Structure 1
């Protein structure tokens, strides 16, 4: 009887290993030293690196440091992590990257806001207008360097929920706001940002 179950187990393993999404309902994706970064992410070595369980990004005002997942985000997902902007003013989570379009969810120190926006990212250009984009929603929040912030992002049934420290929250409908409804995940910094406790989970 046990022999009959072996092919089923093997098929299940293959399906999960070949999945085109960054996480599944049965597996939460976490960044750790045991998982080679290059296996799951596109990035430039001098811009992003992993040390122990901390992902550090480096960029500048004229060239933002970007890292992008190789796999798609699930249709419904939850992302949790802590971030510290150790230098400069911008840290951005790129959601549902689809070709050049994505959703901007970011912390911006200059305006002292958390923001949801409509983004454009051209990998081959740092020209104005070929990265970043328009603000759709914003909410004031005191933001500063060298401080850890807990971020939660959830997309469920095309509804986006973006929260920082469980006290400042933005919500919107992807469809009504004309925001990208599928795609990959990425992070951007215009200085130095540290990310820890990153987990990405598919939800029902």
Structure 2
């Protein structure tokens, strides 16, 4: 029965015109989803257990997981994250080849940040990952605390909030950021993600 459910979910998402979510169907990550069929990652770095996605990297080698399908043009992402080790957790938005939008929580600077990102797969060289900060807002961030993250992209505007109390917003077009692409997550330590929901918004 479990195998039948997994196959059915895979067929459902395969029919969604290459998009990770549609207006008819939200995407939720849970134990019934075959992680390999929907995401590209190193199984030693990312694992799904009891509806919680855990990434394990290090300061010299960031752990990255990337969706196989594109995000819709307009979308909303909600989830909870807990940085249990080290300092950086990043949502990689609109991944297009090596470019993406950085939306992240950074314990060392005590900020949430929007930036322009680059990630060259297979390389741990400093200048071939990360990128410049464009906007930031101070926020007290601690390890072993759960944070509720909401990201909304609509009509080329990016809205990023944490715990519904600290907000950042920018124009994707004016900031010359990647306008469409895939979704990813990145950590330089250990981060846990739960209650992930991706929804397509009406164009």
Considering only CA atoms, is the larger Rg found in Structure 1 or Structure 2?
1
The total of aligned residue pairs comes to 192
Cα distance in 2, alignment partners of residues 117 and 65 from structure 1: 19
Once the 2 structures are TM-superposed, how far is the Cα of residue 14 of structure 1 from its aligned partner?
7.8
Residue 67 (structure 2) aligns with:
69
- Which aligned segments of 4 or more residues in structure 1 are displaced greater than 6 angstroms? 13-16
Q: Can you list the C-alpha shifts for 1:155-193, whole angstroms capped at 9, x where unaligned?
A: 000000000000000000000011100000000000000
Provide the alpha-carbon RMSD of the alignment. 1.3
Contact kept, 8 Å, 2:16 with 2:22, in 1: the verdict is no
Correspondence 1:30 to 2:25? no
Q: Can you list the C-alpha shifts for 1:20-43, whole angstroms capped at 9, x where unaligned?
A: 010001000000111100110000
TM-score normalised by L of structure 1: 0.92
Correspondence 1:55 to 2:53? yes
* 2:92 aligned to which of 88, 94, 104: 94
> 5+ unaligned residues in a row in structure 1: which ranges?
1-12
Cα distance in 1, alignment partners of residues 144 and 181 from structure 2: 31
Cα distance in 2, alignment partners of residues 100 and 65 from structure 1: 16
Contact kept, 8 Å, 2:13 with 2:20, in 1: the verdict is no
Correspondence 1:172 to 2:177? no
* 1:45 aligned to which of 32, 43, 46: 43
Change (3 A) 1:110 1:75: same
Residue 163 (structure 1) aligns with:
161
Look up the SS of the partner of 1:129 in the other structure: helix
Residue 143 (structure 1) aligns with:
141
Look up the SS of the partner of 2:132 in the other structure: strand
Residue 125 (structure 2) aligns with:
127
* 2:197 aligned to which of 190, 195, 199: 199
Once the 2 structures are TM-superposed, how far is the Cα of residue 18 of structure 1 from its aligned partner?
5.0
Look up the SS of the partner of 1:23 in the other structure: coil
Residue 5 (structure 2) aligns with:
none
Q: Can you list the C-alpha shifts for 1:46-68, whole angstroms capped at 9, x where unaligned?
A: 10000010000000000000000
> 5+ unaligned residues in a row in structure 2: which ranges?
1-10
Contact kept, 8 Å, 2:79 with 2:197, in 1: the verdict is yes
